[in-house]
Chain A
Amino acid sequence: MSAIKLTIDGREIEVEPGTTILEAARQIGADIPTFCHDPELPPNGACRICVVEVEKARALVASCVTPVAPGMVIHTESERVVRARKEILNLQIANHPLVCITCEKTGECKLQDYCYRYGVSDSGYVGEVKDLPLDDSNPFFVRDMNKCILCGICVGKCQDVVGAGAIDFTKRGFISNVGPAYEDKIEDSTCVFCGLCIDSCPVGALIPKVGRGKGRPWEIEKTRAICPYCSVGCGINLHVRGSEIIGVTADQQSPVNRGHLCARGKFGWDYQKSSERLTVPLVKSNGVFVEVSWEEALGLIVDNIEDVRNRYGSLSLMGLCSPKATNEESYLFQKLIRSLGSNNVDSYTRHCHAPSVNALMKALGSAAMTNSIEELTGTEAIFIIEADPLDSHPIIGYRVREAVRSGAKLIVANEKAVGLSDIAHYFFALEPGGALALVNTMSNVILEEGLHDQAFIGKRTEGFEAFRKAIAGYTPEFTAELTGLTEAEIRTAARVYAGVEKAAIISSAVIREEEGGDQLVLALVNLALLTGNLGKNSCGLYLPYSENNLQGCADMGALPAVLTGYQQLKEKAVREKFSKAWKIPISEKEGYSAADIFNTKKESSIKAMFILGENPAACGEEHEKTAEILKSLDFLVVQDIFMTETAALADVVLPAIAFAEKLGTYTNTERRVQLNRPAVEPPEEAYPDWEVIAELAGWLGFEWNYDSPEDIFNEMAALTPQYSGISYERIEAEGIQWPCPGKNHPGTRYLYEGRFGRGLGLFSIIELDHSRKFDQKPLPEIHSIGEHGCQCISDSMRNHSVISSMKKNRGGES
């Protein structure tokens, strides 16, 4: 259809058919007020403040719901329009408590702004002011419904975007209200404290507690940062007054979260202010920690490292790198460990992800999540298996909801119902361990019914014939009992997934090996390869990492067998490249992994360890054994922001700084490299972690020369093909997804277009199953670990935050 021509405020404009008058007017910069309009919610036309005059039309029209028509002549601020808006404002303030002097929203309240704009100060109406009790029930926000103007935006966000369904319109007429059922307190509702309602309320009805009385909007400086919790990497604005953070709002511009957050991002940052933060170096003397100067602490570290190295050799030293460290810190950290002569560097957290990482490496050639979070909204079918994304990675959950609203079919196959089962077209309650049998059977059904993508299989994969033979035994009749589903249900799952052009799979990246995690991931890869659901937009495999920078930590080469960007240590050219750049010899010998040290029964040869912001002593079921291993070391240095279970075991503890105090980049689970900016100064004697590592390197005799995190990033990018086109300047406004091999390369939204990391995609035969199939032994239990799946470091932050008081497992029915 051709563009529509119309005139707005005397200016001619052409817009797409279907555009609303409001959108068209905004294109020419006309400032039409709105209360109830929100671009991501269905229009409701309730408030009518957005009325405009259309020539020849009898009545004024609400611009947010009225589409443009050819030849329309529109006046957005005519006398009639202004009169109508004044009338609406008069009615609004007639029963609004005009307590602007103390209202937190003063300065960014739409009601106040529009009354100012139209000179409405005293309502001509004597209205009854509501007298509803404040809801102060929870530690996060206050609801003052006397100020509510019933725009309904919060309801839309809560019901549609988040799906918490905590609040809705209740009653009608004057007593009409917005709130939980039965006038319950929000604390007793299904509210998950995501804060979406707070950020979008046009007036002061919903106010976060943390910043009350601490600053007016015009006194606040906003710094754009990245949420430090999960691997989605939401953009946030840190609100600072003076030297204190007093609140967080979602970054509306972020392509990742588009103004959405979960409770962790909205409220979880306050650990930064905890009085329990470590601020000075500590040294253990006779079993107790005493404060020491940086000189003393660094001196002790250097002496001990050298002593251990002299006695046991370089291979007795090891470093564990935090998936919460920035890319710059991770890069320096692995460089330091490698400079000391070994490749013994890893992340303990990555170790929880090892089964899925290894499986993906084997079958596809890279462990990264294949497609972007946003692409989920364009899928036609989504298959969630053994995962609870609304809980573990809420933004992914919101996008699944959006996809379903736009017509995608949703299958959820889980042992328990999760937060998204309420909108699932098919919810299949699996028997424990039934996941693998289900996925294999789906593959078999797809083959049997001819739903596979023969062209894709022929061109892009290998191992298909062997796979086809191996999978043949998996008939629905056969696995019905194992999975706990009926034959028809299994066939339905297969048909729904394979019956569309674009289907995505979401599962958990944290399913442990002994529980069959690697097997399940391989089976899911098979399913995606079989149906050609890889290497194109809006399909793929979503196995999101747990912690915010686990992707970056691995990208930076904090791994025992590879350098940055997964460049293989075993390749001579790679070693030479780094050797030359770093001016040190690079050992050819693959380092110890965290699994080598903590999983084996063997006596470990590691004698000294530097742990940067990880907490293995409190992580996983084996944490006691892990703690024993740490205790048996000759020397342990831990750098952290809190005295964690692991730090407590150390000989020297160095204070680290919090995300809100540091400059650097994080890479989210969709490979997006994003800039995090500091909002406040670190406490007392704490220094940026990169400075500490660089200082220590200097003390150890290495000649490093960095002025800033940007320096470090540039050095890394020059050595790392995937990052080589990325610079701080390029990611100033918005992050870039690697691979980004050139200064003009836009980055990569989804992987494997035309080629897999390993060349062809590999079908895997899930061997275990044949024997199992015949003796009907149950498969090993598969479940994700813990509430949020291996987020031990997040846990130590959460424990010092107001979010620790949140009831567990809100939202999702369990």
Chain B
Amino acid sequence: MSRETEAVMTEQIDITAIEEIIEPYIKKKEMVIPVLQKVQEHFGYLPRPAIEEVSRLMRIPLSRLYGVATFYAQFKMKPRGKYIIRVCKGTACHIQGSPKIAERIEETLGIQSGETTDDLRFTLEEVACIGACALAPVIMINDDPHGRLTPDKIKSILDSYK
């Protein structure tokens, strides 16, 4: 994550909740995962200032918390983007070339599935069949379906979401 994004996000994060969240775990350094889960429940992801506060209060090195948080896929290090792109991985879409679509989106946005762009515009996810097989290959961006895609259409579609 770029420092600028971090700076922008920092302002909106109120870490005072951390004290309460970790209260039941305060002397239990082995409880890192449950603590991180609670923090994620509260913020929707794991904001750096919140993790730093956990580190300070629980006296656990920041590196250790970060290591655990980045090891498990369940933990999100960034908030979700303004637009959630869901690429359908159903059989029909797959046969019609959804892997190529996903690949093009990844290239265009510079993120992998499960990640969010630095400007917090897009989050890319994969989903099992979304039931629009007639439109295969299909993606959803928030509530809008985009069907019968080819990789070359991706750029203009993404550009239309500001």
Contact = CB atoms under 8 A, between A and B. Distances in A.
A binds B: yes
Interface of A: 159, 164-172, 179-182, 189-190, 421-423, 813
Contacts of B56: 813
B62 interface: yes
A168 B59 contact: no
Contacts of A171: 70-71
Contacts of B70: 170-172
15 contacts: A159-B61, A165-B60, A165-B61, A165-B62, A168-B63, A168-B67, A169-B71, A170-B63, A170-B70, A172-B71, A179-B63, A180-B63, A181-B63, A181-B66, A813-B56
Contacts of A190: 61-63
Given A171-B71, A421-B59, A159 B64 contact: yes
A181 B65 contact: yes
B146 interface: no
Contact of A182 (B60, B66, B71): B66
Interface in B20-70: 48, 51, 56, 59-67, 70
B64 A168 contact: yes
A168 B61 contact: yes
Pairs A-B, 5 closest by C-beta atoms:
A165-B61, A181-B66, A168-B67, A422-B59, A168-B63
A167 B62 CA distance: 9
Contacts of A423: 59
Query: Which of A167, A168, A171, A190: most chain B CB closer than 10 A?
Result: A168
B63 A167 contact: yes
Query: Which of A164, A168, A170, A181: most chain B CB closer than 10 A?
Result: A181
Nearest to B112: A175
A165 B71 CA distance: 17
Contacts of B62: 165, 180-182, 189-190
A169 B71 CA distance: 8
Contact of A165 (B48, B51, B63): B63
Contacts of B67: 168-170, 181
Nearest to B65: A181
A780 B1 CA distance: 50
Contacts of A422: 59
Contacts of B66: 168, 170, 181-182
A725 B158 CA distance: 84
Given A170-B71, A182-B1, 19 more contacts: A165-B61, A165-B63, A169-B71, A170-B63, A170-B66, A170-B70, A171-B70, A171-B71, A172-B71, A179-B63, A181-B51, A181-B61, A181-B65, A181-B67, A190-B61, A190-B63, A422-B59, A423-B59, A813-B59
Interface residues of B, number: 15
Nearest to B68: A168
Nearest to A190: B61
Given A171-B71, A172-B70, A422-B59, A182 B64 contact: no
B67 to A, nearest CB: 4
Contacts of B48: 182
A289 to B, nearest CB: 50
A384 to B, nearest CB: 15
Contacts of A170: 63, 66-67, 70-71
Contacts, number: 52
Classify the secondary structure of B's interface with A.
helix
A171 B73 CA distance: 9
A181 B71 CA distance: 12
Nearest to B51: A181
A707 B64 CA distance: 57
Nearest to B64: A168
B59 A166 contact: no
A159 B64 CA distance: 9
Nearest to A172: B71
Contacts of B51: 181
Interface string B63-86: 111110011000000000000000
A743 B134 CA distance: 95
A168 B55 CA distance: 14
A179 B63 CA distance: 8
Contact of B64 (A165, A179, A813): A165
Interface string B1-29: 10000000000000000000000000000
B63 A189 contact: yes
Query: Which of A169, A179, A180: most chain B CB closer than 10 A?
Result: A169
A169 B61 CA distance: 12
B92 to A, nearest CB: 30
A488 to B, nearest CB: 16
A168 B70 CA distance: 11
A159 B63 CA distance: 9
A313 B89 CA distance: 100
A483 B37 CA distance: 38
Query: Which of A167, A170, A189, A190: most chain B CB closer than 10 A?
Result: A170
Nearest to B27: A425
A171 B68 CA distance: 8
A813 B65 CA distance: 17
A64 B157 CA distance: 56
A809 to B, nearest CB: 15
A171 B71 CA distance: 5
Contacts of B61: 159, 164-166, 168, 181, 190
A422 B56 CA distance: 9
B21 to A, nearest CB: 19
A179 B70 CA distance: 12
Interface string B81-123: 0000000000000000000000000000000000000000000
A189 B61 CA distance: 10
Contacts of B59: 421-423, 813
B53 to A, nearest CB: 13
Contacts of A182: 1, 48, 62, 66
A182 B61 CA distance: 12
A319 B64 CA distance: 53
A180 B64 CA distance: 9
B65 to A, nearest CB: 7
Contacts of B63: 159, 165-168, 170, 179-181, 189-190
Query: Which of B48, B56, B61: most chain A CB closer than 10 A?
Result: B61
Contacts of A179: 63
B122 to A, nearest CB: 21
A333 to B, nearest CB: 46
A643 B59 CA distance: 43
Nearest to B1: A182
A813 B52 CA distance: 13
Contacts of A165: 60-64
Contacts of B71: 169-172
A180 B63 CA distance: 5
A426 to B, nearest CB: 10
Nearest to B71: A172
A422 B26 CA distance: 12
B22 to A, nearest CB: 15
A172 B62 CA distance: 17
A642 to B, nearest CB: 37
A422 B48 CA distance: 21
B50 to A, nearest CB: 13
A162 to B, nearest CB: 11
A169 B66 CA distance: 9
A180 B70 CA distance: 12
A445 B74 CA distance: 50
A169 B63 CA distance: 8
Contacts of A813: 56, 59
A165 B60 CA distance: 8
Contacts of B64: 159, 165, 168
A159 B61 CA distance: 8
Nearest to A165: B61
Query: Which of B1, B60, B71: most chain A CB closer than 10 A?
Result: B71
Contacts of A166: 61, 63
Contacts of B60: 165
A423 B67 CA distance: 19
Contacts of A181: 51, 61-63, 65-67
Query: Which of A165, A171, A190: most chain B CB closer than 10 A?
Result: A165
